[in-house]
């Protein structure tokens, strides 16, 4: 699977009110391994950044004055993202800006070009409800080294996001195997293993373990006011 971890920096918080993109960072991962085939653009937004935004990313109008407009990097960016599975932290924010820039060029939104979009903020909220789930907070929680992040930078943040994503999904995806990973060194599929000769031993629970198990089930059934599925199915199984 080809995944692109994407981040942007902007002049402010509202694409609808005229704020623009000033930086785009993309990091490529193929089969959960970084490839080094990244993209990084500084973009001249044609306007100043708000003071609060400048404090976040530190990218000045003076620095950006000789950088390309979004229109000059749009095709390169879209070709790079084509058919990829894109991963973004707080995706509506970045997609809102990218889609606004694309719309001004008469181009379709990002979702029409990529295979899918995954929002790691949504993932994190599901995994860590009630906790802070900013990129910095996730780096701390998942032991991702972000000591070099004094200011926000799109490429650095995309690299950190890739590390965060790997840690977020380590348990979920570690056992997944795609066709490419099933090939041997010569590019051929290994022969199927015949498991018919293996006999699996069945270890029965002891009487004491069975009694303890029934006690746990009875307590769960009591706590749920008799709504446990196994109790409802017992008469059917008995018949």
Q: What is the pLDDT of residues 121-158, one digit of tens each?
A: 999 999 999 999 999 999 999 999 888 766 678 999 99
Q: How far apart are CA 129 and CA 193, in angstroms?
A: 43
195 confidence band (pLDDT: 50, 70, 90): low
Q: Which CATH class is domain 2-182?
A: alpha beta
Domains of the chain, by residue range, sit at 2-182, 207-238
Q: Is 0.85 surpassed by the pTM of this model? A: no
Q: How far apart are CA 114 and CA 117, in angstroms?
A: 8
Cα-Cα-Cα-Cα torsion 125, 126, 130, 135, nearest 10 degrees, comes to -30
Q: What percent of the chain has pLDDT over 90?
A: 66
Tens digit of each residue's pLDDT (9 = 90 or more) over 91-128:
999 999 999 999 999 999 999 999 999 999 999 999 99
pLDDT surpasses 90 at 66: yes
Q: What is the DSSP string of 181-232?
A: GG--TTS-PPPPP--TT------PPPHHHHHHHHHHHHHHHHHTTS--HHHH
Residue 113 exposure: Cα atoms within 13 Å on the Cβ side: 19
Cα-Cα-Cα-Cα torsion 150, 71, 105, 29, nearest 10 degrees, comes to -50
Calculate helix-pair angle for 154-168, 120-127, nearest 10 degrees.
Answer: 40
Q: Does residue 12 contact residue 50 with C-beta atoms inside 8 Å?
A: yes
pLDDT surpasses 60 at 24: yes
Calculate helix-pair angle for 91-104, 70-81, nearest 10 degrees.
Answer: 120
Least confident of 51-60, 71-80, 161-170, 183-192: 183-192
Q: What is the largest CA-CA distance in the chain?
A: 81
177 confidence band (pLDDT: 50, 70, 90): very low
H and E: helices and strands count for the chain? 10, 6
pLDDT surpasses 80 at 87: yes
Mean pLDDT of 84-91: 97
Q: What is the DSSP string of 46-68?
A: SSPPPHHHHHHH---HHHHTTSP
Q: What are the residue numbers of the active site?
A: 152
Least Cα distance to 87 among 2, 173, 5, 8 occurs for 5
Residue 233 CB neighbours (<10 A):
10
Mean pLDDT of 34-57: 95
């Amino acid at each position: 699977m080809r995944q692109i971890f994407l981040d942007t920096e902007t002049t402010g918080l509202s694409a609808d009110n005229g704020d623009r993109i000033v930086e785009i960072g993309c990091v490529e991962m193929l089969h959960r391994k970084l490839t080094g085939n990244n993209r990084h653009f500084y973009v001249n937004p044609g306007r100043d950044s708000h003071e609060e935004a400048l404090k976040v990313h530190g990218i000045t109008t003076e620095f950006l004055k000789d950088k390309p407009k979004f229109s000059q990097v749009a095709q390169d960016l879209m070709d790079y993202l084509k058919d990829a599975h894109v991963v973004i932290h707080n995706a509506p924010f970045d997609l809102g800006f990218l889609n606004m820039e694309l719309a001004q060029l008469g181009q379709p939104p990002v979702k029409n070009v990529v295979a899918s979009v995954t929002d790691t903020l949504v993932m994190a909220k599901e995994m860590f409800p009630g906790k802070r789930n900013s990129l910095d907070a996730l780096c701390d929680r998942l032991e991702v080294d972000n000591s070099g992040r004094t200011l926000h930078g799109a490429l650095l943040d995309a690299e950190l996001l890739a590390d965060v994503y790997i840690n977020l999904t380590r348990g979920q995806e570690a056992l997944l195997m795609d066709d490419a990973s099933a090939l041997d060194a010569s590019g051929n599929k290994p022969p199927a293993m015949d498991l018919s000769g293996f006999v699996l031993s069945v270890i029965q629970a002891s009487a004491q373990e069975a009694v303890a198990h029934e006690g746990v089930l009875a307590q769960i059934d009591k706590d749920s006011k008799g709504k446990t599925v196994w109790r409802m199915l017992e008469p059917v199984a008995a018949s």
